[in-house]
Amino acid sequence: MSPAAYGLIHDDAIAELSGWHPPDPAQARLRRDYLAHLARHGDAMARGGPPAHLTGSVIVLDRAGAHVLLTLHQKARRWFQFGGHFEADDRSMREGAEREAREESGIDELVALPEIVMLDRHDLGAAFGSCREHLDVRYAAIAPTGAAHSASHESVDVRWWPADRLPEDTREELLPLVRAAQALIRR
């Protein structure tokens, strides 16, 4: 798909990242890097764009923030928050991340909170094809009480985890995201 097809979400990414107030110097550096990447690549939002491109994800918590809903990712074989690539008809980064979370969790009523929780830049393995690096924009959502979840074709499993006992192999990566999301929902 052409870069022009992603024009609306590309413009939204620039506006949203420009207006976001990072919580620390490391996040401020990532924000500058993301904005520079967007300025260099009109197709930075597209899966078929440069090897490094923006993605969106959502960490899903229960209302109390005591439990986290995670997906066992089919390709990575690790537990993660829900998320993935933007599509040309996504109108905003939050909408694209929210769509991914709904598709992957099976919870149609999920609504991401409007604020960016954090940014995360990570390398990908060979199983991800031409994608070599994700510049992930992360949001949070509160699952509706009693909402049923299910695994998608991209997942092996979807399961609730106590926020203080995350899966060992992803604990180091997920804990800062969970804590930032908990702080956001408690505001």
What pLDDT score does 27 carry? Answer: 97
What percentage of the chain has pLDDT greater than the value 90?
70
**Structure-block tokens of residue 101:** 């979370």
DSSP string, 31-51: HHHHHHHHHH-TTTTSTTSSS
Per-residue pLDDT of 43-61, as tens digits, reads: 999 888 888 889 999 999 9
E strand or H helix that includes residue 102: helix 93-105
Amino acid at 35: L
Beta strands in the chain (DSSP E): 52-61, 67-73, 79-80, 82-85, 118-123, 133-142, 155-162
Range 152-183 burial, b when 16+ CB lie within 10 A, else e: eeebeebeebebeebeeebeeebeebbebbbe
pTM above 0.85, yes or no: yes
Span 94-133, pLDDT tens digits: 999 999 999 999 999 999 999 999 999 987 665 555 667 8
Which percentage of the chain shows pLDDT scores above 70?
93
| Residue 76: per-residue pLDDT | 76
What pLDDT sits at residue 152? 83
Rounded to 5 degrees, what angle do the CA atoms 36, 137, 139 make? 150
In this structure, the number of other CB atoms found within 10 A of the CB of residue 27 comes to 17
Output the pLDDT for position 26. Answer: 97
